[in-house]
Amino acid sequence: MKKFFVLTVLFALPIVAYLFFASGKNNFARLPILTENITDVSELSSYDDEPVYLQDHISVVAFFGEDLENLKGNTFNLDKKILEKYYGFDDFQFVIILPESARANAADFAKEFEGITNAQEWKFVFGTPGEIQNVFESFDSPYQLSDKNYTPYVFIVDKSRNLRGRDDDEDDEILYGYDSRDIAELTNKMNDDVKVILAEYRLALKKNNAGRKNN
């Protein structure tokens, strides 16, 4: 009887452990929602006067202010470490929110970098300081905009205009945004989190398509 009990435990324990960790992995494969109902940017102007929407897009959103050097360095870091891997995904976009005073400099900057990055994929929108502050405050993050409408932190926003991030980060506990100056954070954290949210939507799309076929 004892042998039977021991053998049962030895066989059952790995199976139970597998189910436990498989369940945990499945739960982890969703990037937590930190803030709901982010203000859309469709009322802000763009270069071609076509509105840019956060709704129905997976967006990396940046507030890079009027200082061209900040815009260059932070955008280049993001593009090389994160964005260029994902431009081919449907509904994925990089939105840079700037004050009107940065319009001419941003155009020159994008043109300068067209040969070495996917600058044509960047979506610039422009607003007054009040409009930019209104969008920024809707993220309900612990960060602050400078008097030049700048923060180095960039954000992941899902198709329903929810801010996504980490609620159990080993360094910050709650990670609302990613420091675009920090190559290690972009590589080790943001890259993983962008993968997770894209995988989440791909899985949802597969389920929807399978459901339609079954119907």
- Cβ-in-10-Å burial (0-12, 13-18, 19+) of 86 comes to middle
- Helix residue ranges, H only, the chain: 2-28, 68-81, 103-113, 129-137, 183-185, 191-214
List the domain boundaries for the chain: 33-214
Pairing of strands 122-127, 92-99: parallel
Which has the minimum average pLDDT: 31-45, 99-113, 153-167, 201-215?
201-215
Write the class of the CATH domain 33-214. Answer: alpha beta
pLDDT value at residue 69: 85
**What count of Cα atoms within 13 Å lies in the side-chain half-sphere of residue 198?**
19
pLDDT in tens, 73-106: 899 999 999 999 998 898 999 999 999 999 999 9
Amino acid at 45: S
pTM: 0.82
pLDDT in tens, 114-131: 888 888 889 999 999 999
Q: Are 82 and 191 in contact (CB under 8 A)?
A: yes
